[in-house]
Amino acid sequence: MRIPVLKTYKLYVNGSFPRSESGRSLPVKAPDGKVLAHICHASRKDLRDAVGAAHKAAGGWSRRTAYNRGQILYRLGEMLEGKGEEFAAAIKSVSGCPIRAARKEVEASVDRLVGYAGWADKYAQVLGCNNPIAGPFYNFTVPEGTGTVAVVCPDEPYLLGLVSLLAPAICGGSAAVVVACEQAALVASLFGEVCATSDVPAGVVNILTGPRADLLPWIAGHREINAIHAANLDEDDARALRMGAAENIKRIEIREVDDAAWYDADGCESPWWIEPFVEMKTIWHPSAT
């Protein structure tokens, strides 16, 4: 009897697929206990490498035109659409949900990327402003990417949760380090393959897998992580992030989103999801008169 060779999914860091520095891996199991694949167990060193890649990429990504960032997000949605059946099968295998529900999640994830692609060159008009002043000057406030954002994915939904937290961060010009929980790691690793074959520049999206709790204290305390975007964490994980971040004054946005709300475009697809991950820059310019 032939023993099938199960795939071991690697990390996605700086546009490539390295093995974990720790050399450790973990099995991904179906609800019935069947082993589906293996994932890398990311270490603190892997986190440092991912943050370094994001920090290096953030400057170039934020200097791209908003229109170009929108094009790249749209391309990411295109590539995800093309692998839709593969993602639906992966979601079904790890969650045990009906294939129709898995396809619905994939379709919503594609739509979320396309939605933020549309916001990329429009959110600045909502968040920025032309300030009234006395004097022969113009005074503008414009949003810019905050730098490096750590995206801490919820346990569910596997794909839509990741995309909904990641898209507003990169839409605003920041680079991201995504930390996926163990059960969602298979889907997150597949998303890394989508990023690698799309137009996303190396380092703008980095994906780590393994026990989430192992990395949270280091995420909170890392001084080159400028903000954290998370959802539906338990009290211990949320406390670990807030206490660690209090020492370096990084922004933390921990959302509570129920199952139905993930599919609500008005709630999860908004410039106000981008706003926590931009800095406001004020520009003075002399007027012609």
Mean pLDDT check: name the lowest of 97-106, 129-138, 234-243, 248-257: 129-138
- 203-216 pLDDT, tens digit each: 999 999 999 888 99
> With bands split at pLDDT 50, 70 and 90, how would you rate the model's confidence at 2?
confident
Average per-residue pLDDT in the chain? Answer: 92
Mean pLDDT check: name the lowest of 20-24, 91-95, 124-128, 136-140: 136-140
CB atoms within 10 A of CB 114: 19
pLDDT of residue 288: 65
CB burial readout 86-97, b (16+ within 10 A) else e = ebbebbbbbbeb
pLDDT greater than 90 at residue 47: yes
| Residues 205, 213, 165, 70, Cα dihedral to 10° | -10
Residue ranges covered by each domain of the chain? 8-286
Residue range 232-259: average pLDDT?
90
Strands 35-40 and 25-29 turn out to be antiparallel
> What would the DSSP string read from start to end of the chain?
-PPP---EE--BBTTB-PPPTT--EEEEE-TTS-EEEEEE---HHHHHHHHHHHHHHHHHHHHS-HHHHHHHHHHHHHHHHHTHHHHHHHHHHHH---HHHHHHHHHHHHHHHHHHHHHTTTHHHHH-EE---SSSEEEEEEEEE-SEEEEE--SSSHHHHHHHHHHHHHHTT-EEEEE--TTTHHHHHHHHHHHHTSSPPTTTEEEE-S-HHHHHHHHHH-TT--EEEEES--HHHHHHHHHHHTTTT-EEEEE---TTGGG-HHHHSSHHHHGGGEEEEEEEEE---
Residue range 177-203: average pLDDT?
94
- 90-127 pLDDT, tens digit each: 999 999 999 999 999 999 999 999 999 999 999 998 88
- CA distances in angstroms from 250 to 51, 127, 179, 224, 227, listed in the order given: 14, 20, 17, 9, 5
Side-chain half-sphere CA neighbours of 63 within 13 A: 5
| Alpha carbon distance 233, 256 (integer Å) | 8
The answer to whether 15 and 194 are in contact (CB under 8 A) is no
CATH T-level assignment (fold) for domain 8-286: Aldehyde Dehydrogenase; Chain A, domain 1 (3.40.605)
Query: Environment class of residue 223 by beta-carbon count within 10 Å: exposed (0-12), middle (13-18) or buried (19+)?
Result: exposed
pLDDT of residue 99: 97
Q: In this prediction, what percent of the chain has a pLDDT beyond 90? A: 76
> With bands split at pLDDT 50, 70 and 90, how would you rate the model's confidence at 289?
low
Reading across the β-sheet that carries 278-286, which strands appear in turn?
129-130, 137-145, 278-286
Q: How far is CA 238 from the centre of its chain?
A: 18
- 247-282 pLDDT, tens digit each: 888 999 999 999 999 999 888 999 999 999 999 888
Residue range 178-187: average pLDDT?
91
> With bands split at pLDDT 50, 70 and 90, how would you rate the model's confidence at 1?
confident
> Beta partners for 279?
144
> With bands split at pLDDT 50, 70 and 90, how would you rate the model's confidence at 138?
confident
pLDDT of residue 4: 81
> With bands split at pLDDT 50, 70 and 90, how would you rate the model's confidence at 140?
confident
> With bands split at pLDDT 50, 70 and 90, how would you rate the model's confidence at 183?
confident
pLDDT of residue 84: 96
Tell me, what amino acid is at 6? L
User: First vs last Cα of the chain: how many Å apart?
Assistant: 86
